[in-house]
A and B are shown apart, each in its own frame.
Chain A
């Protein structure tokens, strides 16, 4: 038996994670990280980590008879996640804030804080699995392929995995709900939260306008050959691959193929102009040992996508087949079968057509 710290969001997954580790006989402490707050410091009433989510977590903890606390993570979340999210969009990149939250908040600060509570292990409600093979730790996709969250955990290394457990990665979502219902947990039938937690109502463009008015800087929309086609409302309000919402009638389908933040220019092209043959990477991390260049891998570049065939290079990856809608700022996860081998963040894309598209260095 050991002491474990369970990160409880107020959802069904972390509720059941807490119940499962408690049932194994561990001493459990439940915490909710207060990630952000309203203008007067109040907990949000919509989006994620709302007052009612916190109350759900508190009530589940009370039902399990475990101590429960709300920890103030607003400063750490602001600097580690929100500031970077805004900065990325202002530089024409497409960030993944959930990855950054796991990287800088949950599996750095909270994992460190587990020490302060004399907890050996951090438990979360993620759908992923950890296996020990020959003394080394492997990160695997969750049993429930539809719910698998290994992508947003792909930056974890041996040190973090050694102190982390994902109990519900071993079961599917239906089983999670059945366990919750069987225990009479109030979160058993709770709906999924899919939006970015700090973006109320799912409209990240409105969020950007409110926290970074400079994201509204309008600029030209141009064709591949530089012909000005119109004006947009701000580079942060468009994403690569976007086909609609620019307010332009062009007769044939056009996509955003590039964003040039220095001149606030948005470049449009046809679908084949979006084709990406490979990506250059930064912030590359490995779950265990690095892969040699030339190794075949599966590459996943979206949280709810599938891995595509690729070949590992030097801080770069080549796709076997051209990919569409790949943009700087996105996180990629490297897979071999079920196993996550590592991760990186796209610094630039190698296009089929035209010059190397690159975003500003941050």
Chain B
């Protein structure tokens, strides 16, 4: 394979070289356990807390409100299970990431009432419906900032306003951070999940923002790290890399939106002009990085495999642990029939994408389709 056009940034994106450099000393020289008391431990602890401050600054939070985790899935689990552990019902949506849905389902099986709010044909959640789903004992409301499959932006601020302080609001902002300006007070949320590898940081790192005063029952117990909210030896190297990546990604957002958006738009224009596909959602309602396209009459796994051979890396958006494509629960919630859901592919652009990637990839999609018709 001569070269690869990587259009799966929503799955993961390459680490920024500066991040790797920033992390390196903490793998070797400053290897200390941040919970220790001696010199090398103090240096590690110092780096950890400095990373916390930098992370907090990027999203307009206080350092004490930042919990370092192993990634988006753990952050979501801690938010949902942590709130459920304090009692009360869970209100969330049918289109959340499996991490939220799985955690909510777990809590429901252990006695927490669970209400799933649906979406309309456009994939959007209505703030009014979320508010209507609440009860006096609602313990957490969780609505993702951006859907990972379709890229549809959810009205998180509107939902927070509709909830009006009756329960803490959590948002899974894992897909949003690379392209959307995120400040916790602007969003009006009390809990927010981030994942480092989605914006050029290391895999295995994440953040849960927890607004001061919001109670959270720990899920992992042990040494009481992260103010008792997440025990386990601190991943200092990861936290340093995460903080570095957050700053770089936030500073690069404007460019990524413009270039990635132009690449995405160029890609979609070719597909639409050729009459071979249609976007599954209104592209103006999505973040600039995502194009979710249905190719009628073509099974998504077939097109993915043909594109892989042509050097274009994309994703079906919904796959099981073995890697087999499954029918997307997101599209199902939008009322899309299973046969159509199996014809949809996600193309996602990121910080390394160029406009040429968009047009070149579209040409290869047409080539891949050509052999099938």
Contacts and interface: CB of A to CB of B under 8 A. Distances in A.
Given A69-B301, A116-B372, A51 B321 contact: yes
Contact of A41 (B302, B320, B372): B320
B50 interface: no
B322 A43 contact: yes
B280 to A, nearest CB: 19
B33 to A, nearest CB: 34
Given A41-B326, A67-B309, A118 B321 contact: no
A356 interface: no
B322 A70 contact: yes
A43 B321 contact: yes
Given A34-B320, A72-B324, A116 B302 contact: yes
Contacts of A117: 302, 305-306, 309
Contacts of B322: 32, 34, 43, 51, 54, 70
A35 to B, nearest CB: 10
B220 to A, nearest CB: 23
Interface string A160-175: 0000000000000000
A34 B371 CA distance: 25
A70 B371 CA distance: 21
B306 A72 contact: no
B302 A70 contact: no
Question: Is chain A's binding surface mostly helix, strand, loop or mixed?
Answer: mixed
A116 B304 CA distance: 11
A116 B322 CA distance: 21
Interface string B304-337: 0110110000000000111111100000000000
A194 B371 CA distance: 39
Contacts of A71: 301, 324-325
Contact of B325 (A32, A43, A72): A72
Interface string B349-369: 000000000000000000000
Contacts of B371: 118
A29 interface: yes
Contacts of A67: 305, 308-309
A145 interface: no
Contacts of B302: 113, 116-117
A67 B1 CA distance: 12
A344 B224 CA distance: 68
A116 B320 contact: no
A116 B323 CA distance: 19
A61 to B, nearest CB: 12
Interface string B284-312: 00000000000000010110011011000
A72 B299 CA distance: 11
A37 B320 contact: yes
Interface string B241-268: 0000000000000000000000000000
Contacts of B324: 34, 43, 70-72
Nearest to B303: A116
B42 to A, nearest CB: 43
Contacts of A29: 305
Nearest to A50: B322
A292 interface: no
Contact of A116 (B306, B308, B326): B306
Nearest to B299: A116
A42 interface: yes
Interface string A18-54: 0000000000010010100100011100000001001
Contacts of B305: 29, 67, 69, 116-117
A67 B308 CA distance: 9
Interface in A108-149: 113, 116-118
B304 to A, nearest CB: 8
Q: 6 closest pairs, A vs B, by CB?
A: A72-B324, A70-B324, A34-B324, A116-B302, A70-B323, A70-B322
18 contacts: A34-B324, A37-B320, A42-B320, A42-B321, A43-B320, A51-B322, A67-B305, A67-B308, A67-B309, A69-B305, A70-B322, A70-B323, A71-B325, A72-B301, A116-B302, A116-B305, A116-B372, A117-B305
Given A34-B320, A70-B324, A116-B372, 8 more contacts: A29-B305, A34-B324, A41-B320, A43-B324, A51-B321, A71-B301, A72-B320, A116-B299
Interface of A: 29, 32, 34, 37, 41-43, 51, 54, 58, 67, 69-72, 113, 116-118
